[in-house]
Amino acid sequence: MFRKEEVVLRRKPLIFLLVIPFLFFILSHTIPFFYGIGLSFYDWRENFVGFTNYLSVFNDAMFWDSLKFTFIYAVVVAGAMTFFGLFFGIFINHLGRGQMLVKSVLLIPWAISLTAWGLLGQIALSRQFGVVNDVLVRLGILESRLAWLGDPTLAKISVMLSRISKDVWFSALLFLVARQTIPSELYDESKVCGAGPWQTLCYVTLPMLKPTMLFVTTILFIFALQEFDLVFALTRGGPGFATEVASINIFRHGVRYGNYEYGTAVAAVWSLIVSVFVIVVFAPLQRRIMEK
């Protein structure tokens, strides 16, 4: 009898606690998502056209270019933010008493929106009037001013550097907090064993920070794959389509050109690719974290 009551207790609330809250997401996002996939099989006069839109997507060189750049962007941004975040996190930890001040400053770049950051980038990276060119020329690093946002290759680099320089501080903060939860006994012990600073770093600090590294890298990679705001505010995908990431590509077809059906086909292909990434990389990683 007691068991039966327990079962009742555990079954009924699930509807209210799990299913109904989740239903809000499904109704507002998942159903439109599948509706969008349905839409991708039609043309703008609502004629069923089968896979025609998809064939055009696969033959669209610009789509593949944007995909390539999205992945390069995500790998570089997530990689650099993890690496430099780790570096600065450990570095700040060694700053002694002053780190309280540093800690309180680190969140300021995070508070700036990517939109405002993009506008600031336009100001600072301007070829003629920008401060970046001015400083680099004065220091003798550059001989002449560069068109940071005008040249396709430079623009790609600028977008990535711009993103990294804004949020590397946030990842540094995550690593700093993680570093400070490592018990100090481990460091005493490694000192007793006669380990030098490099050995302590390689055998104590880095292994202890591994879970944080995994978490930070994957979450940054996922956010970077979704990048829209910064690129839109900084370059709008230009010059030409050089810095167009997948989100901008879909937005351009669907919203700016008003080509819904084609845009939804691109969106479907893109979400399929992201899903493969989730199944192959993200989900197994999660299982490892969950089993711990």
Region 129-148 residues binding another protein, contact defined as CB under 8 A: 129-131, 134
How far is it, in rounded angstroms, from Cα 204 to Cα 274?
Answer: 35
Name the residue among 145, 129, 128, 127 with its Cα closest to residue 137.
145
Is 111 a binding residue for another protein by CB under 8 A? The answer is yes
- Write out the binding residues for another protein, residues 48-87 only, by CB under 8 A: none
Contact 57, 267 (CB under 8 A): no
Helices of type H across 26-98 = 31-39, 52-58, 61-93
* Tally of CB atoms within 10 A around 267: 23
Nearest CB to another protein, comparing residues 240 and 284? 284
Is 17 a binding residue for another protein by CB under 8 A? The answer is yes
Contact region with another protein (CB under 8 A), list: 49-57, 171-179, 182-190, 200-208: 171-179
The binder of another protein chosen from 1, 2, 3, 21 (CB under 8 A): 21
Nearest CB to another protein, comparing residues 177 and 201? 177
How far is it, in rounded angstroms, from Cα 265 to Cα 250?
Answer: 9
The binder of another protein chosen from 45, 59, 98, 183 (CB under 8 A): 98
Is 123 a binding residue for another protein by CB under 8 A? The answer is yes
- Write out the binding residues for another protein, residues 179-238 only, by CB under 8 A: 181, 212, 215, 219, 222, 225-226, 228-229, 232-233
The burial of 103, by beta-carbon neighbours within 10 Å (0-12 exposed, 13-18 middle, 19 or more buried), is given as middle
